[in-house]
Structure 1
Amino acid sequence: MGIKHLWTILAPFCERKPLYELEGKTVAIDLSCWICEAQNITDYYVQPKMYLRNLYFRTCYLLLMKVNPVFVLEGKAPELKYDTIAARNEIQFKGAKPKKDTIRTGKDRSRFNFVLQRCEEMLSIMGLACITGKGEAEALCAYLNEDKLVDGCISQDSDCFAYGARLVYRNFSISQQGVHASSGGAVDVYDIQKAIESLNFGRNKIIALAILCGSDYSDGVFGIGKEAAMKFFENVSDEDALDRLRSWKTDNKLYDDFYKQLNNKNLCTACGHPGKIHTHTKSGCKDCKLTKGCDSSKFKDKRLQIKNEVNMRSKAIADSHFPNEELIREFLIRKENVSKLDLKWKLPDMINFIKFTTKHLQWEPIYAFEKFLPILTRWQLINFELIKSSHHKLKGILSPERIKKIRNPKGVQSYEIIWCDKEGHYNNIIPTSQLTDVNLEKLWSTIEPQEMVCKAYPDLVEAFEKSKIKPKKPPKRKKKPKEPLEDIENMLANTSISEPKSKKKKNKKPQAMANCKTIDTFFKKAILNNAETKRVLDEDQLNNVENKIVLNENSFNLDASNFGDEDDIDLSNIVEDIVNRSPPKYIQENLDKLGYNQAVIDDKIQVDMSESTFFISRAVENDLFEKSMHYISGSSDEELEVLEDPLETKENVIINDTENTNIKSKNADDSYSEEYIPLLTRIKLKM
C-alpha cells in the first residue's frame, strides 16, 4: 500500500521499539489499515468479523498503556484511486458479488464504508470518538501530525509521508510471542527527518518517486525502477525535484544538448574534452594537462548521471500524462484543516457492549463482561474527580470493595482490586447458567497501577496498608535470674565424675549377594552331613562291640568334607567279595608266560595289604588328587611337608570285655597308626 519502494528506501532509518514507549502520547490511527489486515484472513469460520475483534483488543491495549488514540475514518476517495479500490474490493470481499454490476459499484467504498460504520459504533460504545476525513484517512493523519496535534501516525500506508507526515508507526503488533514478547508488543518507527539529514530525501522527492515508480494513484513510468530514480535524486535537491520532472517536457533544448554530447564520438568519454579515449590514453590530454591518460574523476560520473537522466526522460515523455499534475495536487494541496481535537474519553457503556458483541462477535455475556470490565474501571481511575462531582448523574459506575493483594505485571507496581455493583446497574446482565462454577471474586477483579489507585481511592489504600500490619505479640514472661551460688551448685549436682560408658561398635555383617551361595554355606552343609554320618557310625560301632567285632574309631572318623562318598560304607562287602575272587584263567596263563609265580604274587599282595591304609603313613608319592591340588595351587612337595604337622604313633588297644560295653576310643586298636589332617584344612591352607 502506498508508494512503491518507499519502505525499502526508508528501511535503514527504521527502529523497532516496544509499545510501552508510546505511553502518554497521542497517535492518529488509520482505521482502514487495521480493517484491511483483518480482511486478509481467509478463515472466517474461526471468528466472524475479525476486524471488530482485532480493533477492540488493540484499542484496549492502547488505553491501558495510557496512549490517547485518535481514530480516523475514510472519506470520499479521489478519482485517481478508483481502479485501485476496485481491485482491492475483489480481494477483500471475494465471494460477495455486488447486487448491480455497474461501474460505480466496483469503484466506490459502499461495502467498505459499511464495515467502517460497525467499527465506529463499537468505538462509540467504548467512549471513543472518531474523525472522518474529506478524503483519504492517511491524509488527515498526516495533517494532524504535521500540525503537531498528534505525536505520530499508525498506518501501513507510505502515502502518509507524501501528505506531510513526520513520524509513522508501522507493523503495529500486540502479540505476546517473538522477540518483544516480554514487552507485550512492538512497532516499527519511521522518522522522515533522519532520511532528510542522511539522503536529502524529503517530501518532494517522495512525490517524485510516486510519479516515476508508481503508487495507489498511478502505475508510474514503465521501465523506471528504484535504482534509476535514486541515482537521479543524488544530483537534485528536494526543492527542485518536481520542477526537474516538469522540465523534461518543457526544456527540450537542454536535453537535446545532453543527447548530442553523449553521442558525440569526437569527445573523450572519460574527461569530456575533444579527442578519443584511446588517443588520450597513449599521448595524454591537453585540456587535462596530462602527458599520459586523462582526468576521469569528474566527468565520468557526471556523464553516467546525464546518461541515466536522459534515458529516464526518454521513457517518461512517452506518456502523454507525464508528469501527473493531478497526483501532485493530491499530495500537496490540503483538503481540510483541523485546529482542535476532542480527545475526551467518555464513559464506556457495559450493557450496550455486551449486546453488540453478542450480536456481531457471538461472544457469551460472561466473556464480554470479563473483557470490558478493565476498560470501565480504568476510565473510573482516570476520571475520579468527575465521578466525585457528578456521581448521581453517571450510570454504570462501580465501587471498589477492597484491595486483595499487590501485583507487579511486567514490573509495574499494581493492586488487584475487587469491585462491586452497589447500585445494581448490572443485575441479571449475565445469565445464571453461565455463573455456575465461576469464581465471582475473580470475575469482578482488575489489576490497576498503584499510582492511579492512590490518587483515586486513598482511603482504600490506607485500609489495605493497615490490614497488612500484624499485631504485636505479647511479650513472654522472663525467668528470674538465679543467684551465682545456686547456678554453681546446680552445675556440680548435674556433673557426672564417672567415666562414660563406651559404646560398643556393632560389627555389620556383609550382606550376601542375592541368589548367590557362598563357599562357607557349602562347607557348613558338608560338616553337618559329616556329623550325621558320624552319629550313625557310632551307633553301628556300639552294635559291633556287642557282637565282639573289633572296630577302629578313627577308621570311620571322617573329618573331610562330604563329597558324595558316604555311600562307600554300604559297598564294603561288595568290594571285599570282588577282591577275594580268584582271578580268571587267562590272567594266570598270561602271568605264567611272563614268568610270574602265583605264590610270589600272593606274598607281594599280602605285604601290600598289611601296609596299605586309607591314609598314607609315608608320603613317598602323591596320589592323583594330591597332584591335582598341587597343580592348581602351584605348591611343591616341600611346601606340603612344611604345612603338614608330624604325626604321632599311638598304640591301639582293643578292649574286648563282654561285661563292659563301653569303648575307650583313644586306646582302641586301629588299622593305622597316624592322625589324619582333614582335607578341608589342607585346602584352606593352600588358598
Structure 2
Amino acid sequence: MGVKDLWTILAPFCERKPLYELQGKTVAIDLSCWVCEAQNITEYTVQPRMYLRNLYFRTCYLLLMGVHVVFVLEGRAPELKYKTIAARNAVQFKGQKPKTDGVKTGKDRSRFNHTLKQCEEMLRLMGIACVKGEGEAEALCAHLNEDGLVDGIISQDSDCFAYGAHVVYKNFSISQQGNHAAKGGSVDVYDINRAKESLDFGRNKIIALALLCGSDYCEGVYGIGKDSVTKLFDIVSDNEILGRLRSWKNDTLYEKMERKISDKSLCTSCGHLGKVQSHTKKGCFQCGTNQGCDSSKFKAERLEIKNELNMRSKALKDPNFPDEVLISEFLTKNSNISELNLQWNKPDLINFVKFTVKYLTWEEIYSFEKFFPVLTRWQLLHHNQTKNTTGVVTPKFIKKRRNPKGVASYEIVWEDKYNQFSDLIPEEQLSDYGDLEKLWSTIEPQNIVESAYPELVKEFEDSKKPKTRKKKKPSVDEIDNLLKNVSISGPSKKKKLKKVHTLDSFLMTASTPKRTQNFSFNMDQSNFGDENDLEVSDIVDDIINRKLPSYIPENLDKLVTRLDNKENDNCSFFVNEMTENDLFENTFKKYCISSDYDSD
C-alpha cells in the first residue's frame, strides 16, 4: 500500500521501539489500515468481524497505556484510486460475491464504509470521537502531523509521507512475544526528517518516486525501478526534482546531452577531444597527463546522463507524464483542521456489552470483564466529572499492591452501589464464573489512584504500617514489689557459681516484669567466701563502675533511698553480724595477724 519501494528506501532510518515509548503522545490512526489488515470483511466461523475485535483490543491497549488517540475515517476517494479500490475489493472477497447487507459493492467504498461505521459505533461506546476528512484518511493524518497537532501516525500506508507526514508508526503490534524490548508490544518508527538530513530525501522525491515507480494512484513507468530512480536522486536535490521531471519535455536541453555522450570524437573517459585508446597511450593534453587520462571528470557524469536519458525516453511514452493531477493530490490540503478535540468521553458499559453480544457473539460476562478496566481508568482520570453521573462505579477498597511490567500499581475492588449493572449479566454466567470479587477488580497505576482517591490510598497504607509496642517504664511501686519478692541464696559448695548477677543486670531485668516473675539470686552470704578474692573484687567494681540503664533515671534516686532504709526487710544482702564460720574472717586471722601482735 502506498508508494512502491518507499519502505525499502527508508529502511536504514527505521527503528523498532517498544510501545511504551508512545505513552503521553498524541497519535492519529488511519482506521482503514487496521480494517484492511484484518482481511476480514467477509464472515469467519470462529470469530465474525475480526476487524472489530482487533480494533477493540488495540485501542484498549493504547488507552490504558496513556496514549491520546485520534481515529481518522476515509472521506470520498479520489477518482485516481478507483482502479485500486476495485482490485482490493476483489482480493478481500477472495473472488466470491460478498453479502450485500443492503449496501453496494464495486469501484466505490460503499461496503467498506459500512464496515467503518460499525468501527465508529464501537469507538463511540468506548468514549472516543472520530475525525473524517474530505478525501483519503492518510492525507488528513499527514496534515495533522505536518501542522503539529499529532506526534505521529499509525498506518501501513507510505502515502502518508507524500502527503506531508513526518513520523509514521508501522507494523503496530501488541503481541507479548519476541525479544525483551518488545514483550509489551512494539512498532517500527520511520522519521522522514532523518532521511532528509542524511540523503536529502524528502516529500518531493517521494512524489517523484510515486510517479516513476508507482503508487495507489498510478502504475508508474514501465521499465523504471528503484535503483535507476535513486541514482537520479543522488544528483538532483529534493527541491529541484519535480522541476527536473517536468523539464524532460524540453527537447532542446536533452538533445545536447544526447549529442555529448554519443559524439565519438570525444573520449568516453574524460570527455575531452580524442579517443580512449589514444589517451591511454599518449595521454590527454587537457587533462595534463602523458599516459592515460582523468576519468573522474566525465566517466561518472556520462553514466548519470545515460541513466537519466534512458528513464526520460521510457517516461515520455506516456504523453501525460508527469501527471499533474497526481502531484496536486499529494501537495493540496483538502481539509483544514486547526484544532482537535482530544476529550475522552465516558465509556458506555451497558451498550458496549449489548453491541459485542450482537456483532462479536461474546458472552455478556466476557464482554463485561474486558471492558470494565476501560471504564475504571476513565473514572480515575476524570474523577471530578463522575459526581452525579450514571454508569460509573465506586471504589470499595484497595486489595494489594501490584507491579505489572515494573509499574507501581494498586489492585482495587469496585462495587456497583446503585445496582446499575445488576441485570446486565445472566445469573448462570455469574454462577459459573466463581470469584465475583475478581470480576470487579482492576489494576491501576498508583499515581492515578493517589490523585483521584487520596483517602482510599491513605486508609490502605495505614493498614499496612507495622504496629509497634511502646515499652512501659516500670514504676517505683513495681520495683518495690519486685525487691520484696527477691530471695538471695547461694549454690552448694560442690557447685561453682557460673553466672554472676550484678545490680545492673537486676535493674535491666526489672524493666521486663514477665521475665523477672520467677527470678531469684542464688547467692548465700554464709558461703560468700568460697569465691576467689579477685572474683569478689570484680563483682564490686562491676556494681560501682558500670552505668545504669538509661530508661530508669527518674526512679533511681527513689530506689537507692529504699535500699538504704530497708531496716525491717528480711533481705540479708548487707551483713550486720559476724558469723563464726565466716571463711573471710578465718583467713584474715591466719595470714594477716603476725607473731608481733601475739608478743604484745
TM-score band w.r.t. shorter chain: 0.7 to 0.9
Report the counterpart of residue 285 of structure 2 in structure 1: 286
**Aligned pairs for 1:177-192 within 5 A:** 177-180=177-180, 183-192=183-192
- Distance (whole Å) between structure 2 residues aligned to residue 41 and residue 385 of structure 1: 41
Paired residue type of 1:187:
V
Give the secondary structure class of the aligned counterpart of 2:27. Answer: strand
Report the counterpart of residue 537 of structure 2 in structure 1: none
Aligned CA distance change for structure 1 residues 428 and 494 (closer, same or farther; 3 Å): farther
Aligned length: 488
- Distance (whole Å) between structure 2 residues aligned to residue 259 and residue 494 of structure 1: 125
Report the counterpart of residue 150 of structure 2 in structure 1: 150
Q: Give the conservation status (yes or no) of the 8 Å contact 1:268–1:276.
A: yes
Higher relative contact order (CA 8 A, sep 6+): 2
Unaligned runs of 5+ in 1: 498-687
- Distance (whole Å) between structure 2 residues aligned to residue 414 and residue 442 of structure 1: 16
**Aligned pairs for 1:162-181 within 5 A:** 162-180=162-180
Paired residue type of 2:236:
V
**Aligned pairs for 1:220-239 within 5 A:** 220-239=220-239
**Aligned pairs for 1:439-518 within 5 A:** 439-473=435-469, 489-490=490-491, 495=496
Report the Cα offset of residue 50 of structure 1. 0.5
Residue-by-residue CA offset, 1:526-578 (whole Å, 9 max, x unaligned)? xxxxxxxxxxxxxxxxxxxxxxxxxxxxxxxxxxxxxxxxxxxxxxxxxxxxx
- Distance (whole Å) between structure 1 residues aligned to residue 15 and residue 488 of structure 2: 79
Q: Give the conservation status (yes or no) of the 8 Å contact 2:40–2:51.
A: no
Report the Cα offset of residue 75 of structure 1. 0.6
Give the secondary structure class of the aligned counterpart of 2:289. Answer: coil
Aligned CA distance change for structure 1 residues 272 and 482 (closer, same or farther; 3 Å): farther
**Aligned pairs for 1:185-334 within 5 A:** 185-249=185-249, 251-334=250-333
Report the counterpart of residue 431 of structure 1 in structure 2: 426
Unaligned runs of 5+ in 2: 499-600
Q: Does 1:7 align with 2:3?
A: no
Q: Give the conservation status (yes or no) of the 8 Å contact 2:75–2:135.
A: yes
- Distance (whole Å) between structure 2 residues aligned to residue 427 and residue 492 of structure 1: 85
Give the secondary structure class of the aligned counterpart of 2:410. Answer: strand
Q: Give the conservation status (yes or no) of the 8 Å contact 2:18–2:181.
A: no
TM-score normalised per structure 2: 0.78
- Distance (whole Å) between structure 2 residues aligned to residue 254 and residue 33 of structure 1: 44
Question: Bigger CA drift: 409-418 or 44-53?
Answer: 44-53
- Distance (whole Å) between structure 2 residues aligned to residue 40 and residue 267 of structure 1: 63
Aligned CA distance change for structure 1 residues 276 and 182 (closer, same or farther; 3 Å): closer
Aligned CA distance change for structure 1 residues 205 and 248 (closer, same or farther; 3 Å): same
Report the Cα offset of residue 490 of structure 1. 4.0
- Distance (whole Å) between structure 2 residues aligned to residue 366 and residue 417 of structure 1: 19
- Distance (whole Å) between structure 1 residues aligned to residue 438 and residue 99 of structure 2: 49
Report the counterpart of residue 588 of structure 1 in structure 2: none
Aligned CA distance change for structure 1 residues 293 and 474 (closer, same or farther; 3 Å): closer
Give the secondary structure class of the aligned counterpart of 1:311. Answer: helix
Residue-by-residue CA offset, 1:483-538 (whole Å, 9 max, x unaligned)? 9x9889349675599xxxxxxxxxxxxxxxxxxxxxxxxxxxxxxxxxxxxxxxxx
Flag the structure with larger Rg. 1
Paired residue type of 2:136:
E
Give the secondary structure class of the aligned counterpart of 2:338. Answer: coil
Q: Give the conservation status (yes or no) of the 8 Å contact 2:105–2:111.
A: no
Q: Give the conservation status (yes or no) of the 8 Å contact 1:183–1:410.
A: no
Aligned CA distance change for structure 1 residues 439 and 492 (closer, same or farther; 3 Å): farther
- Distance (whole Å) between structure 2 residues aligned to residue 42 and residue 298 of structure 1: 61
Paired residue type of 2:277:
H
Aligned CA distance change for structure 1 residues 267 and 412 (closer, same or farther; 3 Å): same
Give the secondary structure class of the aligned counterpart of 1:70. Answer: strand
Report the counterpart of residue 404 of structure 1 in structure 2: 399
- Distance (whole Å) between structure 2 residues aligned to residue 493 and residue 169 of structure 1: 92
Paired residue type of 2:454:
P
- Distance (whole Å) between structure 2 residues aligned to residue 468 and residue 490 of structure 1: 51
Give the secondary structure class of the aligned counterpart of 2:295. Answer: coil
TM-score normalised per structure 1: 0.68
Give the secondary structure class of the aligned counterpart of 2:396. Answer: strand
% identical aligned pairs: 64
- Distance (whole Å) between structure 2 residues aligned to residue 86 and residue 27 of structure 1: 30
CA-based RMSD: 2.3
Report the Cα offset of residue 93 of structure 1. 2.3
Q: Give the conservation status (yes or no) of the 8 Å contact 1:175–1:181.
A: no
Report the counterpart of residue 338 of structure 1 in structure 2: 337
- Distance (whole Å) between structure 2 residues aligned to residue 398 and residue 46 of structure 1: 33
- Distance (whole Å) between structure 2 residues aligned to residue 412 and residue 369 of structure 1: 25
Residue-by-residue CA offset, 1:420-454 (whole Å, 9 max, x unaligned)? 01011111111100111420111100001110111
Report the Cα offset of residue 92 of structure 1. 1.3
Q: Give the conservation status (yes or no) of the 8 Å contact 2:364–2:424.
A: yes
Residue-by-residue CA offset, 1:237-281 (whole Å, 9 max, x unaligned)? 1111001001101x1111111111111111100000111000000
Aligned mate of 1:413, from 386, 408, 411: 408
Report the counterpart of residue 366 of structure 2 in structure 1: 367
Give the secondary structure class of the aligned counterpart of 1:156. Answer: coil
Report the Cα offset of residue 470 of structure 1. 3.9
Give the secondary structure class of the aligned counterpart of 2:296. Answer: coil
